[in-house]
Amino acid sequence: MPKSAIAVKRTEAKTEPRLLPLVLDLDNTLIRTDLLHETVFAFLKINPFGLFLIALWLIKGKAHLKQQLAARVTLEVDDLPVNEAVAAYAEAEKAKGREIILATAADSLLAMRIARRFPFIDKTLASDGVTNLKGRAKAERLADMFPDGFVYAGDCASDLNVWRIAKGAVLVETNGRLSRAATRLTAIEHAITRPARLRDWVKAARPHQWAKNALVFVPLMLAGHMLDPAAWASAGIAFLALGILASATYLLNDLWDIADDRRHWSKRDRPLASGRMAIAEAVVAIPVAMAIAFVLGALVNPLVVATLGAYLVLTVAYSMGIKRKPILDAFTLAVLFTLRLVLGIVTVGVMASPWLLVFSMFLFASLSFAKRNTEVQRLADRGGVGKVGGRGYFTTDAPFIMAMGVASGIGSVLILVLYLTQDALAADFYSDSIWLWLMPAALFLWIGRIWMLCFRGELNDDPVAFAMKDPKSLMLAAGLALGFFLAWIGI
């Protein structure tokens, strides 16, 4: 279509259809999620074998499926992410005296509950268990209700059926192809552009958390393979495999905790919780990422694959239940950190050091308790009382959590000192092991700093992520590394 024709259509939309009723779609338009995906996932979360029921309900049609799910699942509709640009536009139009209609393929039970969130909505049309109000069915219903015409706000290809009979369109984050198709069918009254998606995908993958996987390289260095290119190559592949697998499990965790995250003071901004990433996208991305991780692991050796499998099983168990068990949750996180060291051991094929593994358990248990203590403190600071959402702790548990964390941290320092006095000083690997005494000193100072900031309420959710940005923590980490390096080269 010539640009001049498009310009004419847009001019018409600003003069004639502006007073016509504005009809809003719901899924991925007024709200940043799909209610069918939300209810399916919520239903399977409480009933994993419900997949067979879903298949039976679907045989009777999508409208019947949606009705059955809506009757069995309780969604916190007030926590569902809203497309603020759409809501603001509709509210402004309502202020001008325009009638605002919500027309959605979601079941009427859910649609009516959500409509109560928005005072500007005058009337709600939705699926009723028999008719799935989408595409042609929605177009026919709206044509009957508004013979003089209406303007429709939508986002997907099925909305082309509605735009074909509408007097105007509001395009909500549509891609270029769909926008051009809608422009050929009706006048464009308003367009809300789609935000950049790559940033949200990167945020969901949490690549900054891959820094934890650097533990894979520790056994390589401690075993004297620092000048072995083949060992570094194998460890590098294992590091990449674990990073991809970890990103998949982070996404799975976000999917599992999506309802809790929407009520959390900071986690509500995560891509899945905020609706900037769709549930369907996550469901596809998770198994693909896992498959890539295991293929990379198989390039190293079968033990790497087995260790990745153990990491995956334990992470899934943690996400689906263990994280709600006090004390056990911190212990499990410590095991997951230690599995990173085990992965490095099986990758390079060196002997496992019991000192290293026990030290890891104590240190990372301390950091896990620090993370939990921060969550409890933040809830208490905001006036919250009782149980922390999605966790097994209460706000009154803060002193106990701190005691467990400090004790575990000091325990890790003690384990390191015992290693230095029992084994390290007699090891042939070090040229001058006296320099190793810099390590427990730096570790003691860092553990003290972490818990002091935790007590003050100045620590972020994740102590490891905090340490990577904290200059003093980085200086102390450099002290640890310097002690090991000087002991190795023998200055």
* pLDDT of amino acid 387: 79
Assess whether 190 and 303 both reside in one domain: no
Q: Are residues 188 and 241 in the same domain?
A: no
Query: Is the same domain home to 189 and 305?
Result: no
Give the count of domains, the chain. Answer: 2
Q: At what angle do helices 328-348 and 229-256 cross, to 10 degrees?
A: 150
How many whole angstroms from its chain centre is CA 166?
A: 38
DSSP per-residue codes, 257-281: THHHHHTSTTGGGSHHHHTSS-HHH
Cα–Cα dist 154/27, whole Å = 9
Angle between helices 62-72 and 35-46 (to 10 degrees): 50
How far is Cα 395 from Cα 389, in angstroms, rounded to an integer?
11
pLDDT band at 15 (very low <50, low <70, confident <90, very high): very low
Domain boundary among 135, 167, 194: 194
CA atoms of 481 and 298, how far apart (whole Å): 31
| Whether 135 contacts 152, CB under 8 Å | no
∠ CA(128), CA(131), CA(137), 5° rounding? 125
Whether residues 7 and 68 share a domain: the answer is yes
**pLDDT of amino acid 10:** 40
For 323-359, the pLDDT digits (tens) are: 889 999 999 999 999 999 999 999 998 887 889 999 9
Task: Report pTM.
Answer: 0.84
3-state SS string for 116-161: CCCCCCCEEEEECCCCCCCCHHHHHHHHHHCCCCCEEEECCHHHHH
* Residue 354 and residue 433 share a domain: yes
Q: Are residues 134 and 151 in the same domain?
A: yes
Query: 419 is written with which tokens?
Result: 């290693």
Domain co-membership, 292 together with 441: yes
Residue 18: band (very low, low, confident or very high) from pLDDT cuts 50, 70, 90: low
Of 147, 172, 194, the residue at which a domain comes to its end is 194
Q: Are 444 and 413 in contact (CB under 8 A)?
A: yes
Residue 16 tokens read as: 């004639």
Distances (CA, A) of 186 to 6, 10, 482: 9, 9, 68
Q: Which of 146, 162, 194 is the last residue of a domain?
A: 194
CATH number of the domain within which 247 lies: 1.10.600
Cα–Cα nearest to 200, from 251, 265, 262: 251
Say yes or no: 217 and 190 in one domain. Answer: no
Q: Where are the alpha helices (DSSP H) in 153-278?
A: 160-163, 176-185, 198-205, 218-222, 229-256, 258-262, 271-274
Same domain, 344 and 214: yes
Are residues 276 and 405 both part of a single domain?
A: yes
Convert the pLDDT of each residue in 212-260 to its tens digit.
899 999 998 887 788 899 999 999 999 999 999 999 999 999 999 999 8
Q: Are residues 436 and 367 in the same domain?
A: yes
Decide: 111 and 126 in contact? Cβ < 8 Å: yes
The burial of 236, by beta-carbon neighbours within 10 Å (0-12 exposed, 13-18 middle, 19 or more buried), is given as: middle
Q: How large is the C-alpha radius of gyration of the chain?
A: 28
pLDDT for the residue numbered 16? 44
Instruction: Give the range among 79-83, 165-169, 469-473, 483-487 with minimum mean pLDDT.
Output: 483-487
pLDDT of residue 464: 81
Q: What angle do CA 27, 30, 31 make, to 5 degrees?
A: 60
How is residue 224 written in tokens? 């004297």
The yes-or-no verdict on residue 201 having pLDDT over 80 is yes
Sign of CA dihedral 85, 90, 91, 96: positive
Instruction: Give the C-alpha separation, 485 to 491, whole Å.
Output: 9
User: Residue 307 sits in which domain range?
Assistant: 199-489
Taking the C-alpha atoms of residue 405 and residue 364, their distance in angstroms, rounded to an integer, is 9
- Residues 167, 171, 176: CA angle, nearest 5 degrees: 120
Reported as a pLDDT band with limits 50, 70 and 90, residue 17 is very low
Give pLDDT, residue 403. 95
Q: What is the pLDDT of residue 425?
A: 61
Q: Percentage of the chain surpassing pLDDT 70?
A: 93
Listed in sequence order, the residues at least 6 apart from 102 whose beta carbon sits closer than 8 Å to its beta carbon are: 23, 24, 26, 30, 111, 114, 115, 118, 121, 123, 124, 125, 126
pLDDT of residue 427: 60
Residues 412 and 432 in one domain: yes
Mean pLDDT over residues 31-46, rounded? 95
CATH value at residue 132: 3.40.50.1000
> Given a cut of 70, is residue 72 above it in pLDDT?
yes
